[in-house]
Amino acid sequence: MSVPCPATRRYSRPWHLTVSQWETVRARHLRYENEVTGAQEGGQQGDWWVDPVTMLPIRNEHDITINTKLGALTITYTENTSYELTSLTPE
């Protein structure tokens, strides 16, 4: 059984992110890190930038790597994801 270790989360100072060529928004940055130990090993880390009032996401980047041993074999799962708001105007 895999056991997620307690996550590390850090908030930073306010940011200003450019959403489109002419639009800049205020954002709060959250950095998180998780470690997995046991039958599986690895972890994830990511960065979230959110609206400081609504907490809606503006930008996200995260990476996950988990190794699972099956006898002499090791299977590695990897995920790298990012997304960002491209406009403040609904389409």
Domain boundaries of the chain, sorted by first residue: 2-81
Q: What is the pLDDT of residues 56-70, one digit of tens each?
A: 889 999 999 999 998
Q: What is the pLDDT of residues 20-50, one digit of tens each?
A: 777 888 898 888 888 888 889 999 999 999 9
Q: Is 18 helix (H, G, I), strand (E, B) or coil?
A: strand
For the question of whether the overall pTM of this predicted structure is more than 0.85, the answer is no
Reading phi first (left if > 0) and then psi (alpha if -120 to 50, else beta), residue 71 is in: left
- At residue 9, the pLDDT reads 62
Angle value at C-alpha 85, between 82 and 88, nearest 5 degrees? 175
Query: What is d(CA 39, CA 11) in angstroms, rounded to the nearest whole number?
Result: 31
